[in-house]
Amino acid sequence: MTREQQTTTAALQALERLGAQQASAQAHTSRKTEFNLENGQFTLLRTTLDHSLALQAFVDQRRGTVSGNSFEPEAIAAAARDCFAAARDGQSDPAWELAREGGGSFDTGAFTLDRELLFNRTQEMLDAIKAEYPKVVLESVSAQHVAREGSYLNSHGVAYDSRAGSYGVFLMFSGHEGGKSSSFNHSSFECADLSRPFLDQGSLRQNLADAQKQIHTQPTKGKFEGTVVFTPDCLGSMLYELVSNYAADSVLLDGTSLWKDALGTQVADPRLTLSFKPLDPRMVSAERYTQEGFLSRDYDLIERGVLKQFMLSAYAANKTGHSRAPNTSHAIIVAPGQTALKDILSTIDKGLLVSRYSGGASGAGGEFSGVAKNSFLIENGQLGPAVSETMISGNLAGMLNSIRGISRETMEDGSSSLPWLAVDGITISGK
């Protein structure tokens, strides 16, 4: 038995002894090794050894949850007591559910760290950035390896074991020249091994090159309706905002989702297919089982424009009468289109290429307005100068029905695969 298995077994027994009619326990150990850099210089080597223990108990369908980070017997016993008390004092709800079937053992990614090679790959990336992107200042960089071991056990006999390892790199940077600077931008990716240079992965090269072009900007003049092309990095954040507004637990439970009655109907342009696929081989150490104990499977949220599935937990599914989402990962994939990005750009009279969106959380209606950061003007089919002090506004749901084009090129960063997406009818305003 692993230490994680011993911990979940002890915790489950403790909860059942206290009187929990149903219960689950999850235990994880993670070892992280991380190089940190500031201003392009190594500043810190950090190694952490962490545990996590998450318990869930049901008493007469009343639910309590606790989490802690100790595997010591007295800590497990205390967590079980707290969890049982929280459930006992809670509110009965028949919608709560634990998985009754499932189970498995998973081993993904690179569990063993190669610290020397991680340092060398990071140094190689710094040297290459200095040579190839001399106007870029690296404000902060982290390069890390995380190894995780886990165990899940519930009172219906569902058991999972997992072992996963991955490398991850995050950069925050800006372009500088003659006292002027671009807005900061960032790039990150996850990878299962160190076989490829870091600079060749994710959006690094694109965003570093763009940072140099974004040092000198022009404010956008006036207000107009135009076409916005979202880069894969920016598209990911817009789509997470969108699905949170229309397809997640909270908005379906409280009935504020504009899509609450739209299942099976056309909510987007027929060219759009949006999926969550943790089992896709391009996803690095993605989810294999859910917090509720269900085996993770890939699914389409929107298939050819039709809403096929909400992102619901088992609880919210039982509450609303819809089906549970087959996974709870963020492994988002948008199917590529047929058209090259340059051909999409060539059709746009006036608009923006937006690499980063800085906006407030959109309201329940999906209205959004925010600043187009790290962005370029598009005029007469050509990319123009970088812009500053430019806002974009529109409606998230409306956007999906105003798609001008989806690029055939995609960007993969280990946790998503996304194309460039062009949307008409966005309000663009400047000074």
Partner 1 sequence: MIPDIISSLHGSFKPGAHSELRAQRSLARRVVLLGGNLVGNTRQDSQGVSARVYSNGVYGFASAADLSQDAARKALDTASQNALFLDDKVRPGKGALPQIAHGSLPRQADFNDVEQKRYLDFTQALDSYISGKYPGLASRTVVATADSMEKQLLTSDGYAAHTLAPRSYVYVILNAVTDKGMPVEVFRSFGGRGSFDTVFTDPAALYGEVDRLYEHLMNKREGTFAKAGVATCILSGELSGILAHEAVGHTVEADLVLGGSVAGPMLGQMVASPLVSMTDFAHTAFDQTAPLPVYVDDEGVLAEDAELIRNGKLVGFMLNRELGRHYNMRPQGNARAFAFNDEPLIRMRNTAIHPGPNKLQDMIAGTEEGYYLMYTNNGQADTTGEFMFGVTLGYEIKNGKLGQAIFDTTISGVAFDMLKTVDMVSDQVTWASSGFCGKKQPMPVGVGGPELRCQVMIGGR
Give the residue with the Cβ less far from partner 1, 5 or 108. Answer: 5
The DSSP H or E segment spanning 244 is helix 232-246
Cβ at position 124, least distance to partner 1 in Å: 13
Give CA–CA dist 429/138, Å, rounded.
30
Q: What is the DSSP letter of 43?
A: E
Give the residue with the Cβ less far from partner 1, 37 or 335. Answer: 37
Give CA–CA dist 119/430, Å, rounded.
44
Write the single-letter amino acid at 106: F
Give the residue with the Cβ less far from partner 1, 35 or 230. Answer: 35
Give the residue with the Cβ less far from partner 1, 60 or 343. Answer: 60
Q: Which residues contact 28 (CB under 8 A, 6 or more apart)?
A: 4, 51, 52, 148, 149, 150, 151
Long-range CB contacts (within 8 A, 24+) of 45-54: 51/27, 52/26, 52/27, 52/28, 53/7, 53/11, 53/25, 53/26, 53/27, 53/79, 54/25, 54/26, 54/27, 54/291
Asked if residue 88 lies in contact with residue 64, where contact means CB atoms within 8 angstroms, the answer is yes
Give the residue with the Cβ less far from partner 1, 82 or 124. Answer: 82
β-bridge mates for residue 375, sequence order: 354, 387
Cβ at position 257, least distance to partner 1 in Å: 9
Cβ at position 13, least distance to partner 1 in Å: 20
β-bridge mates for residue 163, sequence order: 107, 149
Give the residue with the Cβ less far from partner 1, 64 or 202. Answer: 64
Cβ at position 139, least distance to partner 1 in Å: 3
Give the residue with the Cβ less far from partner 1, 275 or 390. Answer: 390
Asked if residue 203 lies in contact with residue 231, where contact means CB atoms within 8 angstroms, the answer is yes
Cβ at position 184, least distance to partner 1 in Å: 5
Cβ at position 364, least distance to partner 1 in Å: 3
Burial of residue 101, with CB atoms counted within 10 A of its CB: 0-12 exposed, 13-18 middle, 19 or more buried: exposed
Write the single-letter amino acid at 158: V
Cβ at position 91, least distance to partner 1 in Å: 4
